[in-house]
Amino acid sequence: MLAAARCIVYRDLLLALRRRSDVATALLFFVIVTSLFPLGIGAEPDLLRSIAPGVIWVAALLSCMLSLGRLFAADHADGTLEQLLLSSEPLGVIAAAKALAHWLVSGLPLVLIAPLIALQYDLPAPLFGVLALSLLLGTPVLSMIGAIGAALTLGLRGGGVLLSLLVLPLYVPVLIMGAGSVDMVAAGLAPDGQLLLLAALLIVAAAFAPWAIAAALRISVE
Amino acid sequence: MTAQMKWFWYASPQTFFPLAGVLARWCGAAAAVLCAVGLYIGLFVAPTDAQQGDAYRIIFIHVPAAWMSMFLYVLMAFWAAAGLAFNTRLSHMMASALAPTGALFTFIALWTGSFWGKPTWGTWWVWDARLTSELILLFLYFGFMALQAAIDDPRRADKAGALLALVGVVNVPIIYFSVVWGYTMNKGASVSLTKAPSMAATMLAGMLIMTFGFWFYGIAAVLLRARCIMLEREHASDWAGRYAKGIA
């Protein structure tokens, strides 16, 4: 069971490595969107400091969603997905491995690059840690919930826009807790409450999302 | 006929179709009567509020619509779960039929809420937990309808929508509490909606009668829509053909 999961993660990472531009596009999107806000709103340092957590988190949500369309599409097109569904390994484990690979490719780079964006927004250095930690806890939830939507919209016309309509409302709790934790530290308070709630969301998503992804895949492929 | 067979007697579109027609007619009539009585009590009998004046009278529409919007989403998720568990077509048809009425009530709750907010709080909108989660609820209804509309195969549309409704119904309380906790820990709620003012008995009566009126309207509208969906899906069957000939 673990061998199958490891195999899927390894394969997806290898595929991502062979098509580096796909990974880079989502990351560049994140950087560009966050760079647009100071240009549109104005570069007042106080204003930028106060909107930074929200802007970075919203950009992370959108960037994560952009890469969701590719999660199952290629496997669906070349028949790999049917083989995965026929596999003797539990489909939930396979779905969890796919979501994990998606997070490693699209979520983890955001966590690493977020402090750089925070510099652009003139956030004080003590906030970098909590920003990265909140993204580290929150982005896996985005990948798992997003994978449910990606599986449901597999092969539909207008899938990308539809996916955003399905998935973005479900991202709201992660956004509120993630941006809220940074706001707390900025206000001089402890972010424990928000971070623990993010961790709780992560645990609940890890427990239930793989089975929902598996059910959605079965519905879409049968 | 065993008891179990009787229980599932109306689970077939053929037998449910005429029953839905009769129920829709009676529930529609009940809704008209109850709403007329409720509006009369609300607009003419109930006393004017000491603090809010006559502006408060929108609650006779607003509160029942908000209750129904949440109740219908749970009901939709219930039929979706029943459809997935028992693989009954009619359950999925009921879930599809519930979504537009639920979205309508959600929209009415938001709309009348902002009409109520302007004279009492001085603003059309605040990012309060109730308003925000009601808005997200509207998006969830739209997502359900958009997903079903995008899928051509009715069987896949049924099941995909059902799964989405179940994921949504788990998320609604999480969204509500995340907004509550997010705001209380952050900025402090700007407007407190939780203190229920003491309510005159006639006000409460008017509101409850309106709630039952909306409830019966919901049943009637959903059953009429379910009848249309049944005819559309079963148009190749004998009973649908006989019905179509009868009204032609």
pTM: 0.90
What is Dmax (Cα atoms) for chain B?
A: 64
Q: Catalogue the E-assigned strands of B107-170.
A: none
Dist. CA A124–CA A170, nearest whole Å: 31
Nearest Cα to A214, choosing from A136, A142, A154? Answer: A154
Among all residues of chain B, which has the CA nearest to that of A194? B182
Among all residues of chain A, which has the CA nearest to that of B132? A172
Q: Which of A137, A167, A176 to mutate to test the interface with B (most CBs of B within 10 A)?
A: A176
For chain A, say whether B131 makes contact (Cβ under 8 Å).
no
Is A152 close to B171, i.e. CB distance below 8 A?
no
How many Å separate Cα B107 from the centre of its chain?
10
Is A208 close to B170, i.e. CB distance below 8 A?
yes
For chain B, say whether A51 makes contact (Cβ under 8 Å).
no
How many Å separate Cα B71 from the centre of its chain?
6
Dist. CA A149–CA A135, nearest whole Å: 21
The domain segmentation of chain B, as residue ranges, is 22-236
* A68-81: pLDDT as tens digits: 988 998 899 899 99
Exposure class string for A136-169: b at 16+ Cβ within 10 A, else e:
bbbbbbbbbbbbbbbbbbbebeebeebbbbbbbb
With DSSP H G I counted as helix, E B as strand and the rest as coil, what are the percentages for chain B, rounded to 5? 85, 0, 15
Is B146 close to A220, i.e. CB distance below 8 A?
no
For chain B, say whether A126 makes contact (Cβ under 8 Å).
no
Side chain identity, residue A87: S
The token duo for A73 is 């599409």
ipTM at complex level: 0.90
Q: Which residues, 6+ apart, have CB-to-CB distance to B20 below 8 Å? A: B223, B224, B226, B227, B230
For chain A, say whether B164 makes contact (Cβ under 8 Å).
yes
Q: What is the pLDDT tens value at each position of chain B, 248 positions in all? A: 456 666 677 888 888 888 899 999 999 999 999 999 999 998 888 888 777 778 888 889 999 999 999 999 999 999 999 999 988 889 999 999 999 999 999 999 999 999 988 888 888 888 878 888 899 999 999 999 999 999 999 999 999 999 999 999 998 888 888 888 776 554 444 444 454 555 678 888 889 999 999 999 999 999 999 999 999 888 888 888 888 788 76
